[in-house]
Amino acid sequence: MDILDDAKKAEMEDRDRALANHFARTIEPAQDIENGIVFCIRCGREVERERLEVKPNAARCVECQTIHEQQERRNGHRTGL
């Protein structure tokens, strides 16, 4: 192995570690599901079909998720969609 191989290996390990940390922080709360319909845990409205196509485990509608993320940023926390 030469220095470039070592650098590439270190970069891949750093990336993998960063991704693992990111996904560990973005765990969604449990969904509110009734009769196969997902309801937002904040406002109670039905979570948009388009949102569930992108993020099947979403527990908040787009509007409430946006508000949640803004609050988290103000409090110094990081969150997922």
Question: What is residue 78's predicted lDDT score, i.e. its pLDDT?
Answer: 55
Confidence of residue 81 (pLDDT cuts 50, 70, 90): very low
- What's the total number of domains in the chain? 1
| Buried/exposed code over 40-70 (b: 16+ C-beta within 10 A; e: otherwise) | bbbeeeebeeebeeebeebbbbbebbeebbe
Domain membership flag for residue 31: yes
Domain membership flag for residue 80: no
Q: What is the DSSP letter of 38?
A: E
Question: What is residue 23's predicted lDDT score, i.e. its pLDDT?
Answer: 63
Domain membership flag for residue 79: no
Domain membership flag for residue 81: no
Domain membership flag for residue 40: yes
Question: What is residue 73's predicted lDDT score, i.e. its pLDDT?
Answer: 87
Domain of 62 in residue numbering reads as: 3-74
Question: What is residue 4's predicted lDDT score, i.e. its pLDDT?
Answer: 87
pLDDT in tens, 52-77: 999 999 999 999 999 999 998 888 76
